[in-house]
Amino acid sequence: MDRKRILLIDPPFYRLFKETFSLVKYPLSLGYLAAAVRMHTDWDVLVYNGDFSPVSEPLEMTYLTGQGFQNYLKRLKDLSGKVWQEIRTVVSEYGPAVVGISAKSPTFASVRAVASLVKKVDAGTMVVVGGPHPTVVGSRVLDCPDIDVCVVGEGEKTLIDLLRAFENQIELAGVRGIFYRQGGRAVATLPRESVKDLDALGFPHQFAPEVLRDYVRYPLKAFRHIFATRGCPRNCFFCGSREMWGRRVRFRSPENVAQEIKSLQNKGLKFVHFDDDMFGVNSRYLRALSKEILDRCPGIHWSCETHVRLISRENVSFMKAAGCYMIQLGVESGNDRILSEIRKGFTIKEALEACEVVNRHDISLETFFMAGFPQETRETLRDTLRAIERIDCDKVVYSIFTPYPGTEAFDFCRKKGLIDDSYDASLHNHQSPANCFCLRIAPEQFRALSARIEQAVDEKNRLGRARKVERYSRLLGPDFSAGTPPVRRDQALKVSKILPSVGL
């Protein structure tokens, strides 16, 4: 075979809202796949982040005008735009035999556009789509005629088997974990087990200098993201993570995580962010991982998202000592009934108390809120507004509820008649100001109420930016300009003395 080349694409999304937006991040999913290809085959691999632009501005989404979302819808229909021409050029110049596209539900409309462009360049190119969206909708991905194969679940081993089958012209029926076309219909192969030993996977950033298109144009911070676990034990009403990773959590060893962090430090990175659904998962692993980071990666600083239930003085002390400078908490609603119905596992009082614990440790705090759950009333939305105004944090990350395929929320909305078979989540994502999936609130009322929340979020974040600058200036001193929050060594020493007493 004379063109053993695979192109891995993360499709554009934010660049469709505004051409100067850019997701300055090496996509971890593609990084893991590229590492697998490099380690286990002799195929050439190129990773292309379609949402990255070297000349860009920070992502500052606003819902108050809706103009960004209108731009998104318009650019999805006009494939003559700059970003689409860029994709044509990448495909034409590289000439891959296989193109793999990563798909989330919000980006699937963009995925379809990318697939059509690939086929226009070369109809013989095999187009493979994987990620969370194909995992939950399965064979329906093949309704798009430009997509040849759908990968279900984790893709590292599946991709290797696909490339070997393609190279040797072997029937795809023997490749576990896929849907493909045969005789004009979709065929499912046997399911593939999840990766058991996460330590056996290559580090996503290990091969980035060799495989990432425009690598030298990325700032160092684009490579700061890592995973320590796969899976989440929680069971939130609106989340599809369990469909992709499962509720049984698989852990990388603390030693393996620290080894990856150390390799990033050696590249010059001074801070990293954990992309895990819930950092730590349990107190024992959280403390063991914190200890390993403290011992083996002195000087590193990190941030994460975790659960309110994991926030305690002891756990946050461990995290702070190991270099944690920012924590994200998913609060979602200010109303206890809504929190119960979406199964967050805490009350708003407990969430506010957790925020106080984080603030007492002088760690920057970001919170997630979501408006428009099907069970909402005008009163519950007002409670969320009051909670946002009351909560003591540096930033609020705001979303409009969207039912994504594979979630219980999606099934609930279908059962209640809020969506039908024509519903396309990629045209109704968290950035859509037209969203309204409430049983008891009319769209006009919801837009008026949510606009008040959005104004409060914008005001909160404007003040939060000033607060964050003040906080970091106070904490970081000379290091502030470099954006490198220093570990408090006095705390580190204190915590390191008590670690043996808790069996770590």
Q: What is the residue-averaged pLDDT of the chain?
A: 90
According to DSSP H, which parts of 297-440 are helical?
Answer: 313-321, 336-341, 348-360, 378-390, 408-415
**pLDDT tens track for 102-136:** 999 999 999 999 999 999 999 999 999 999 999 99
Segment 222-260, tens digit of pLDDT? 999 999 999 888 888 888 777 776 778 999 999 999 999
- CATH number of the domain where residue 261 is located: 3.30.750.210
Is 113 part of any domain? Answer: yes
Q: Same structural domain for residues 111 and 228? A: no
Judgement on whether residues 298 and 181 belong to the same structural domain of the protein: no
Does the structure show a pLDDT above 90 at 184? no
pLDDT band at 429 (very low <50, low <70, confident <90, very high): confident
Nearest alpha-carbon partner for 453 in 363, 376, 342, 354:
376
Rounded to whole angstroms, the Cα distance separating 268 from 274 reads 18
Which amino acid, 367?
T
The reply to whether 153 falls in a domain is: yes
- Per residue in 431-484, pLDDT tens? 787 899 999 999 999 999 998 999 999 999 988 887 777 766 665 555 544 443
In a domain, 254, yes or no: yes
- What domain range is 297 assigned to? 224-323+487-504
pLDDT category at 62 given cuts 50, 70, 90 is low
Give the Cα separation of 66 and 428 in Å (integer): 12
Q: Rounded CA gap, 288 and 272, in Å?
A: 18
pLDDT tens digit sequence for 285-337: 999 999 999 999 999 999 999 999 999 999 999 999 999 999 999 999 999 99
pLDDT above 50 for 500:
no
The pLDDT-based confidence of 489 (bands split at 50, 70, 90) is very low
Between the alpha carbon of residue 291 and those of residues 126, 215, 284, 321, 451, the distances in Å are 46, 33, 11, 9, 44
Q: What is the DSSP letter of 239?
A: -
Place of tokens 């796969």: 230
Same domain, 140 and 261: no
Cβ count within 10 A of residue 123: 8
d(Cα 230, Cα 243) in Å, to the nearest integer?
12
Domain boundary among 140, 171, 188: 188
Return d(Cα 385, Cα 456) in angstroms, integer.
Answer: 7
**Which one of 188, 208, 235 terminates a domain?**
188
Rg (CA), the chain: 23
Same domain flag for 258 and 181: no
18 with 92, same domain? yes
Last residue within a domain, chosen from 188, 213, 242: 188
The model's pLDDT over 189-222, given as tens digits with 9 standing for 90+, comes to 999 999 999 999 999 999 999 999 999 999 999 9
Long-range contacts of 260-265 (CB under 8 A, 24+ apart): 260/203, 260/205, 260/226, 261/226, 261/293, 261/296, 261/297, 261/300, 261/302, 262/296, 262/297, 263/203, 263/205, 263/206, 264/205, 264/223, 264/224, 264/226, 265/297, 265/299, 265/300
Domain tally, the chain: 2
* Residue 314 included in any domain: yes
Assess if residue 356 is contained within a domain. Answer: no
Rounded (to 5) percent helix, strand, coil in the chain? 50, 15, 35
Confidence label for 487 from pLDDT (cuts 50, 70 and 90):
very low
Cβ neighbours of residue 103 under 8 Å, at least 6 residues apart? Answer: 11, 111, 129, 130, 131, 132, 133, 134, 141
Tens-digit pLDDT profile for residues 142-174:
999 999 999 999 999 999 999 999 999 999 999
Same domain, 233 and 183: no
Whether the Cβ atoms of residue 4 and residue 167 lie closer than 8 Å to each other: yes
Predicted local distance difference test score (pLDDT) of residue 60: 66
In a domain, 359, yes or no: no
CATH code of the domain containing 112:
3.40.50.280
Residues 328-372 pLDDT 10s: 999 999 999 999 999 999 999 999 999 999 999 999 999 999 999
Query: Is residue 180 located within the same domain as residue 246?
Result: no
Pair 16, 148 in one domain: yes
Distance, first Cα to last Cα, the chain: 52
Decide if 219 is inside a domain. no
Same domain, 174 and 115: yes
Q: What is the DSSP letter of 504?
A: -
Euclidean distance between CA atoms 354 and 375, whole angstroms: 25
**Structural domain includes residue 377:** no
Residue 388, pLDDT score: 96
Q: Are residues 143 and 86 in the same domain?
A: yes
* Residue 144 shares a structural domain with residue 235: no
Shared domain for 15 and 164, answered yes or no, is yes
